[in-house]
Chain A
Amino acid sequence: MNSLKKYKLFFLLLSLLFLPACKKDTPLQEVNIDNTTVYKPTPYKIQAPWYFPTQMNIPADNPLTVEGIALGRMLFYDRRMSGRQAVDSQMCCATCHLQEHAFECGLDGPFVNGQPIGIGGVPTPHVMLPLVNLVWQNNGYLWNGLIRPENPVVSKRRLEDLVWMGVVATHEMYSDTNKARAALQNIPGYKPLFVKAFGTGNITFELMAKAIAQFIRSIVSCNSKFDKYLLGETSLTASESNGFVLFVTEQGADCFHCHGGEGNPLFSTYLFYNNGKDTVFNDPRDRYAVTGNPADHGAYKAPSLRNCELTGPYMHDGRYTTLDQVIDFYSEGLVGSPYVSPLMHKINAGGAHLTMQQKADLKAFLLTLTDNDLLTNPAYSSPVTFP
């Protein structure tokens, strides 16, 4: 710890040294655009407990600002963003990404069994992942990590790029980016918001994507019962505590190697594993599709278990609708194949073989990861009025 602090201090001093030198280049400077609207964005700092990672995935060309996040929130919830004229076919990010479900659609949301279907009538290839704590995610977005800096397709590398992909996909908004941009350009109230956020009233799709990405990066879940337990503000019940032990022990349920715990509060490594669900693998969107490594057949990103109470259906294809089914799967339902991750060390026994009481305890622990602040925080809710 001591060495880390020293290191931090060193970089702090180093950054102070450079601060005056690069003032001219920084995008966060005050500009008087037209005597009425001033571009003076306020830097936004992610707030999280001390045990969260300090390194964040924020691109240098899209720093978080209060004004950028406010604009992004507006766009996230504005159905005109889809560029459609007919009101009943308009969509926005929040049509499917619901705050009360950790920004997934949920089982009781707009779709049957939590399987999103785009306006083009086509289901999404996989079920949803939560738009939560993405600011700490470094191993690529989507279930197979396709969206990553090393992607040979330059337009599919950033969180920002998922905005255009969502707008054009048949299984999502099924629109196009020119229509989306034009729709916003035709709403006079948006221009000053872009000026405040980016210093220009010239609305481009790239700026729309940047604002939405800023808002999504600001969505943080760090105030669950388990967080309060780590901070010494509450204690776990006997059942929750037993479940916690099962979660973090190799001879217990052995969840922690992939799904984190007190030493990895994101509750995922965000790495890719074949977790023993199947014996035949033909999904064109598994990890193998990204890496070409045969060992990655049937591997998908371990999702964060924060708020997992609300993020069903589960697994990349949504095959399980309840946490009980997921626990049963890891207890008795594993099936072997040459591609199973070696971390699934109980694969040949079919699972961890938990007792009914152990299953109940494990579930009780998983429920301590629900963060009511995330689900109700007005900073993440729909604006009351739109431009």
Chain B
Amino acid sequence: MRKFKPILIPLVFIALLYSCKRDSPIVITPVYHGNISFQFAHDVNGQPLIADTMLYTNAAGNNYLVTNVQYFISDVVLHKDDGTLVSFVAPNDVHYLDTDISSTWNWTVPDSIPAGNYTSISFTFGLNEIKNQSNAFLNPPESDMWWPEFLGGGYHYMKLNGKWDSAGSLNPFGFHLGIGQTYAHNVINVDSITGFVQNYFTVTLPASAFTINKSKSTKVEIVMNIESWFETPNVWDFNYWGGSIMQNQTAMHTVAENGADVFTIGYIHY
């Protein structure tokens, strides 16, 4: 991944200095910086999520409630209009979100961001194979996301917990997305595991052009539409898939496909 390299500034400066003749005026275009922060919101089809209450119906007609959502986003990339890609330096390259922990809903990125116009924002949902190492996070709440070594190790990308109503009976579901497994002869047993599958994916936020102004902070609201996990491109029917996906790669792949469009921009404040 290309990163903005601050070392270029003095190099350009020196180059300009030496190229100038004594009597010509020195013209330097300074690089200004600002900041960016993110606010996270969780909706169901445009309305703020009301947890623990049977209010929602998905595209398959399942009535459902949501208890909580926990997830990682990582490797945010800001796409500048000149083609430059701006990313954040570790540990700011990972952010953990938890609907039960309000301090995670706001993320003020410490990195200085070059001022200018940007065309879009993208990020990894979950953690890529380099970042997703067991014991990378030793402290809760992140450590509570750990994913068993037997099942591929690292961390849950997401836990989306809730219940659906099946013929009047409440059934728990856990969209627990992480590294998938392939099982020989479809025998779901750790001894039958033949390989692991990375299920993280890239999200490009639609209509996410924004500006970073000199010495100012731009605040971007990112909204997760929870209903979107259950549709587009795949209609998710709980009565077909059941409530758990951790050891079902076909289910996890289906969920990951549905995840590409769950995020949109709410507002951009300057």
Contact = CB atoms under 8 A, between A and B. Distances in A.
A54 B138 contact: yes
Nearest to B148: A248
Which of A51, A249, A263, A341 is packed against the most chain B CB atoms within 10 Å? A263
Interface stretch (A14-22, A121-129, A315-323, A342-350): A342-350
Contacts of A248: 148-151
Interface string B113-127: 000000000000000
B172 A347 contact: yes
Nearest to B161: A342
A345 B244 CA distance: 7
A345 B247 contact: no
Contacts of B161: 341-343
A249 B146 contact: no
Contact of B170 (A138, A293, A338): A338
A4 B136 contact: yes
Nearest to B242: A345
Contact of A263 (B148, B171, B190): B148
Contacts of B51: 295
B210 interface: no
Contacts of B169: 348
Interface string B170-207: 11111010000000000010100000000000000000
What's the interface size class on A, roughly?
A: 35 or more
Contacts of A138: 140
Contacts of A55: 139
Contacts of A341: 67, 161, 172
A251 interface: yes
Interface in B144-158: 144, 146-151, 155
A51 B135 contact: yes
A249 B190 contact: yes
A256 B91 contact: no
B150 A245 contact: yes
Contact of A342 (B67, B135, B136, B188): B67
Which of A138, A256, A348 is packed against the most chain B CB atoms within 10 Å? A348
B52 A345 contact: no
A131 to B, nearest CB: 20
Nearest to B133: A1
A53 B243 contact: no
A342 B144 CA distance: 16
B226 to A, nearest CB: 14
B172 A264 contact: no
A52 B138 contact: yes
Interface in A323-346: 336, 338, 340-345
A367 B173 CA distance: 30
Contact of B174 (A249, A251, A256, A345): A345
A53 B140 contact: yes
Interface in B69-84: none
Contact of B93 (A3, A293, A345): A3
Which of B146, B151, B173 is packed against the most chain A CB atoms within 10 Å? B146
Contacts of A348: 169, 171
Interface in A210-268: 245, 248-251, 256-257, 261-264
A138 B150 CA distance: 28
A86 B149 CA distance: 56
A153 to B, nearest CB: 22
A54 B137 CA distance: 10
B246 interface: yes
Contact of A264 (B67, B144, B174, B244): B144
B90 interface: yes
Contacts of A36: none
A2 interface: yes
A341 B52 CA distance: 10
Contacts of B173: 342, 345
B52 A2 contact: no
Contacts of A256: 148
Contacts of A54: 138-139
A7 interface: yes
B134 interface: yes
Contacts of A338: 170
A311 interface: no
Which of B91, B143, B174 is packed against the most chain A CB atoms within 10 Å? B143
B259 interface: no
Given A52-B138, A53-B138, A295-B52, A249 B150 contact: yes
A2 B93 CA distance: 13
Contacts of A1: 133, 135-136
Closest 6 CB pairs of A and B: A263-B146, A3-B90, A342-B172, A248-B148, A295-B52, A250-B246
16 contacts: A1-B135, A6-B90, A7-B90, A52-B138, A249-B247, A250-B176, A251-B246, A262-B148, A262-B149, A263-B146, A263-B148, A263-B149, A342-B173, A343-B172, A344-B172, A345-B172
Given A263-B146, A341-B67, A341-B172, 6 more contacts: A245-B190, A249-B150, A263-B148, A263-B149, A263-B155, A269-B140
